[in-house]
Structure 1
Amino acid sequence: MQRNFTRTLGIMAMAAGISALAPSCTKDLNQSPDYAASSNVVYADPAQIQQVLARLYATFAVSGQQGPAGNPDISGIDEGFSNYIRQYWQLQEITTDEAVIGWNDGTLPQVNTLQWNADNEFVRATYDRVFYEVGLCNEFIRQTSDANLSSRGIPAASLNTVRTYRSEARLLRALSYWHAIDLFGGGPFATETDAIGTTPQYKKGADMFAYVESELKALDALDDNSGALLAPKAVYARADKAVLWTLLTKLYLNAKVYTGTDRSTDAITYANKVLAASSGYSLSPSYANLFLADNNTTDARNEIIFPITFDGTRTQTYGGMTYLVHAPNGRAYTAAQAGIDGGWSGLRTKPALTGLFGSTTARNPNDARSQLFVFQGQNPRVDTLGQFSSGPLIAKYRNVTSTGAPGSNVTFPDTDFPMFRLADVMLMYAEAVLRGGSGGSATQALAYVNQIRARAGASATTAGALTLSSILDERARELFWEGHRRTDLIRFGVYTTGYNWAFKGGVQAGKDVETFRTLFPIPNTDRVANPNLPQNPGY
């Protein structure tokens, strides 16, 4: 598919023909799709509608139409690089104090050092992925309207099920629009109501925030006869009510960044919904098990609220978990330990992270989370970007089960990516309380933090020591390499200035960078094609 799909967001005509993982599409989204089956056929069959929905989920995990490569969703970049989770993770992690990558592919070093511009292909791939998913969701939502379902004779017994599918698509679209707000401060905007072929208008972050908020609240209010989302934990990996509540918690916790208005009280309201006993979530007894090949079947699934699922046989890609398992592997951290056929010798971490556990040269024996660091044979500092020996390794994501058995495929992992999990919600609750939100308590905030620390074997925090600064550090200790760090540092006001790490700004010691780098630029390629798009300040 050519890279012009983001120019007309409302138009991704996806009739999936008809694999859950590999719909066909044309090279020009202003043309009629060339499918073996038309939308009138596909969307008249609830089973095929479910398969199309599965592709909306799979777009976060896979990179193309066949897997692992050869027929990419987007072009202009290597297919493996173009994967949604891979690119989102990179912008959230290697631009921070938690990760560094040693490869020199294209303009990747610019991302590593916070020196990107509006022509950076990795920024562009992330942007394209976000709006590609929006386009897919728009078409699914358009095709599953009540009017279309009625005209295609969907059986009455299936109507509510299909309406729930439609609500899931709306939630996935809201998730991607949140990514657009957080990464780009807005962008081209379209919904299912926009005519196919329409050039989308620009919506700035505050306005997009208002849309996402209203959309999520509307979804939360649906009843069983109008497409209510599934109850929490009803079906593993589905976008259910708990996913919605978690997304609203994140939206509100970051609202002051996005809109200038503190919404900590609202963050507590929706965190409480997830944290309620009736939701059924609990911390996994083992931290390490959250990131293993059977995290979909062990107690880890009781903590993971929204996984992006991977399967070594069915979701083969060089992005996603294939990247996150292979890229940090090499040297003293062997392929056999990771359950794979070979490491890629790329990703490491920085002393800013390891130091949060008490030492930049050794693991903390009293914290299970630091046992995932590999110091053996590594320079504990990051003195050179391109040397894999420079910086500790992290063995967080592995393609082995909790019993030590290898995954089903030694190249493509079975490990699911935990996009949202309970410990994150607990920490968001505590932070919102410390920011002055009502509806929670300092006692409960402290209890949540200490539950998380107790799981890791770390000593309890006292009430006097629980501060916003300590919450930021605890989020790093608990959630490192899970795609949260950039957003966290921006929310705490220390991303661009006042706090530095190795090679920030392109110098080994790190330096302050321009404040406009809290947002990525709108890619020049899209601005040339869509005159409605302004550029973010500074670019």
Structure 2
Amino acid sequence: MNNKIFKGLCVGLLGMIALNSCTKLDVKTYSVVGSGSYWQTPDQITAGVAPAYGGFNSISAIDAGIATMLECTADDIVVPTRGNDWGDAGHWDALWKHTYEKTNSNWNNGWNDIFNAISSCNNIITAVNGIKPAPSSLPVILAQVKTLRAYYYFMAMDVFGNIPIVTDTTTSTTSPTKARADVFNFIVSEVQSSLPYLTTTVDASTYGKVTRYFAFALLARMYLNAQVLTGKPGLSYTAGTPAWQKASDYCDSILLSNKYSLMSNYFDNFAPTNGPSSTENIFAVVTDHINNKVSSWENAILHYQSYLAFGMSTGANLWNGFCSAADFYNNFDTTSSYAASGSNTLRTYRDMRSGQWLIGQQFIGTYNYPPSQNVVVAGPSANYILDAQTGFPLAFNPNFTLFSDPSAQGRLAGVRNIKYFPSPNSGKSGNDMDNDIIIFRLAEILLIKAEAQIRLGNPGAALPLVNQLRTRAYGGNSSFNLTTINLTTLLAEKGREMAYEGVRRDDLIRYEVAGNGDYFTRARVPGKAKDPDQHTMVFPIPAQQMTANSGLVQNPGY
């Protein structure tokens, strides 16, 4: 299936909140900001600020936008060309190989998505500030919307580097480019000034809403990357000022609150029922297959015939695209135990996180939740799933070397990730997963603090943080905990824990800018040569935007 057919599927305004229950609700949105008497109750505020959350629909959608600019430029996700499928005018090739042309319309899609989200926030802020008399809820409203806008600016700065800062509803088309460090400081100022007015309540009523802990998580992630984000993009990246201690401190603001705890099973954070019941997820984009059909993650990953393994409806709308290659997959501990069950052989992974991969021969109706236990790896050939086009057994192989492969084997290249476990409801229309998409969770906070402590010269403080995750990963067995830790082992651990969660690109760039070696720009299999320099650590400002706004300045190297 060609990717063109699903561009734009993930639209509609996000109903982000489960109010007073664990049920995901279809939250009504309001295009007109009402009078001051309207913005008083929690429900009224929820409805009024709902458009500000709408940006999460587009920036988390797996199409030609921000999400793929973040996900498909690192080493964990590759979208190879499979015969006539997934060519898309070289879009996926450009992401993987870092051959970014400023005329590529896909970067322009990402730019428009993010600045449309910022514009929605600006509209609300301007309208609410204009209400006379001001509603008593004004500080709470402004804090929530400004923090959302700050997150969107973080995303824009992350991929485009130097961008304009627009905070009102001006119609000017010549807003000037600001240096990346200036954007960084603007975001920090906005979030810090909002902190006192953000809720500290963590329950079903605040699920899918910006809380103080969302803000702390954003600041922790930003300060972890401060050396990159306050630096200057160029052919040789000029590093800025690191802020490891601040990253650690903002992690403590979450960890010492005791508001969150690790789920005992890794996969429960991503399951089709991963809503307010997760004690680990700090912020998630609320989706489901009825009221909020915006998520296409597993549709993009699973093979056309994978519906046979997961009890989906016949002819489910699956696309056979995203996968991972051997270099990344081999980082996982795939040691397993095996047991006979009738005519089948079942596999249980020692490290439960390794169960997020579909590898080898796939079987009809075999996948139970969680996917780390009792996976069928051998059985009667009558139960083999076959690729319908070629008749070949559906067997996923991480060891592939061709980015573009017209052969039958090319259709099956790469292991497939199912940490967002598919449900029978998934795949019917192409954007109907029930799994909420995770933006921040406690595991990342532990890993941020661990890295900050290592870089501050205190690996002893990092070790127990990482071992919390390893103990959970090995089913509560601490005998697999690390006894020493350094930056290399930490990055490997973060790869195992945080694959497909949108942070790998930042990790690789940060490690390289911090002087730890070639991470982001290095050669990779399949078919990526080493980047000629470091200008690819940001994307070009899209040519369409340069034409429309004479105030913009193009990034170096483009």
TM-score by length of 2: 0.75
Match of 2:199 in 1: 230
Give the structure 2 partner of residue 30 of structure 1.
none
Contact conserved, 2:535 with 2:556, CA < 8 A, in 1?
A: yes
2:500 equivalent among 466, 470, 481: 481
What is the CA distance between 1:499 and its match in structure 2?
3.6
How do 1:386-401 residues align onto structure 2 when only pairs under 5 Å count?
A: 386=404, 387-400=410-423
**Alignment check: 8 A CA contact 2:289 2:425 kept:** no
Closer/same/farther in 2, CA of residues 106 and 42 from structure 1, 3 Å limit:
farther
Confirm or deny that 1:337 pairs with 2:310: yes
RMSD value, Cα: 2.9
The reply on whether 1:211 has 2:186 as its aligned counterpart is yes
Any idea what the Cα deviations from partners look like across 1:364-399, whole Å, max 9, x if unmatched?
Answer: 931111111111112322323343311112222134
Matched, 1:385 2:403: yes
- Cα distance in 1, alignment partners of residues 547 and 89 from structure 2: 22
**Residue of structure 2 in register with 1:27 after alignment:** none
Separation in structure 1 between the aligned mates of residue 486 and residue 37 of structure 2, nearest angstrom: 55
Shift of 1:345: 0.6
**Cα deviation digits, residues 153-188 of structure 1 (max 9, x gap):** 74xxxx22x431221110010001111221111212
Classify 1:383/1:332 alpha carbon distance in 2 versus 1 (closer, same or farther; 3 Å).
Answer: farther
CA–CA distance in structure 1, aligned partners of residues 321 and 62 of structure 2: 19
1:518 aligns with 2:502: no
Q: Are the equivalent residues in 2 in contact too, given 1:496–1:518 (CA < 8 A)?
A: no
d(CA) in 2 for partners of 1:408 and 1:390?
21
Hey, what's the Cα distance between the residues in 1 that align with 2:490 and 2:348?
19
- Correspondence list, 1:219-298, <5 A: 219-220=194-195, 222=196, 228-234=197-203, 235-259=206-230, 260-276=240-256, 278-298=257-277
The one-letter code of the counterpart of 2:50 is A
- Of residues 98, 123, 132 in structure 2, which corresponds to 1:114? 98
After the TM superposition, which residues 415-434 of structure 1 pair with which residues of structure 2 at under 5 Å, given as runs? 415-434=435-454
The CA distance in 2 between the partners of 1:338 and 1:268, in whole Å, is 44
d(CA) in 2 for partners of 1:314, 1:462: 44
Q: Structure 1: which 5+ residue stretches go unaligned?
A: 1-18, 25-37, 64-81, 223-227
Change (3 A) 1:496 1:474: closer
Aligned-pair distance for 1:199? 3.3
Count of aligned residue pairs for this structure pair: 455
Q: 1:368 aligns with which of 330, 336, 352?
A: 352
Q: 1:211 to 1:382 in 2, by over 3 A?
A: same
After superposition, the Cα gap between the structure-2 partners of 1:232 and 1:485, relative to the gap in structure 1 and judged at 3 Å, is farther
**Aligned amino acid, residue 385 of structure 1:** F
Residue 118 of structure 1, CA deviation: 0.6
Q: Which residue of 1 aligns with 2:488?
A: 469
Q: Deviations over 1:442-481 (max 9, x none)?
A: 44421110110111117544343x0011111111100000
Alpha-carbon displacement from aligned partner over 1:203-248 (angstroms, at most 9, x marks no partner): 111001111111111112x3xxxxx111052411111000000111
TM-score for the superposition, normalised by structure 1: 0.78
1:312 CA displacement: 1.3
Unaligned runs of 5+ in 2: 1-25, 81-85, 231-239, 338-346, 361-394, 405-409
What percentage of aligned pairs have identical amino acids?
A: 27
**Secondary structure of the structure 2 residue equivalent to 1:419:** strand
- Structure 1 position 190, deviation (Å): 0.9
Cα deviation, residue 91, structure 1:
1.4
Query: For residues 479-537 of structure 1, what are the alpha-carbon distances to aligned partners after superposition, in whole Å with 9 as ceiling and x for unaligned?
Result: 0001111000000005666743224xxx36x4344310000110010011101100000
Instruction: State the shift of 1:135 in Å.
Output: 1.0
The residue identity in structure 2 corresponding to 1:337 is: F
Q: 1:350 to 1:303 in 2, by over 3 A?
A: same
The Cα of 1:409 is off from its aligned counterpart by 6.9
Contact 1:313 1:408 in 2 (8 A): no
Quote the Cα distance in structure 2 between the aligned partners of 1:230 and 1:165. 11
| C-alpha distance 52-495 of structure 1, shift in aligned 2 (>3 A) | farther
Question: For residues 378 and 360 of structure 1, what CA distance do their matches in structure 2 show?
Answer: 18
Q: Which amino acid aligns with 1:101?
A: V
Change in CA separation of 1:410 and 1:255 when aligned onto 2, cut-off 3 Å: same
How far apart in 2 are the matches of 1:436 and 1:257? 17
DSSP 3-state at the match of 1:348: coil
Q: Which amino acid aligns with 1:449?
A: V
**Distance in 2 (alpha carbons) for counterparts of 1:360 and 1:527:** 52
Residue 463 of structure 2 aligns to a residue whose secondary structure is helix
Are 1:328 and 2:301 matched, yes or no?
yes
Matched AA of 2:546 = R
- Residues 460, 379 of structure 1: alpha-carbon distance in 2 compared, 3 angstrom cutoff: closer
Partner of 1:55: 51
Report Cα offsets for 1:391-442 as digits up to 9, x if no partner.
1122221343xxxx756977511110011100000000000001117xxx64
SS in 2 for 1:149: coil
Q: What is the letter of the counterpart of residue 52 of structure 2?
A: L
CA contact (8 A) 1:329 1:338 kept: no
C-alpha distance in structure 1 between counterparts of 2:402 and 2:48, whole Å: 45
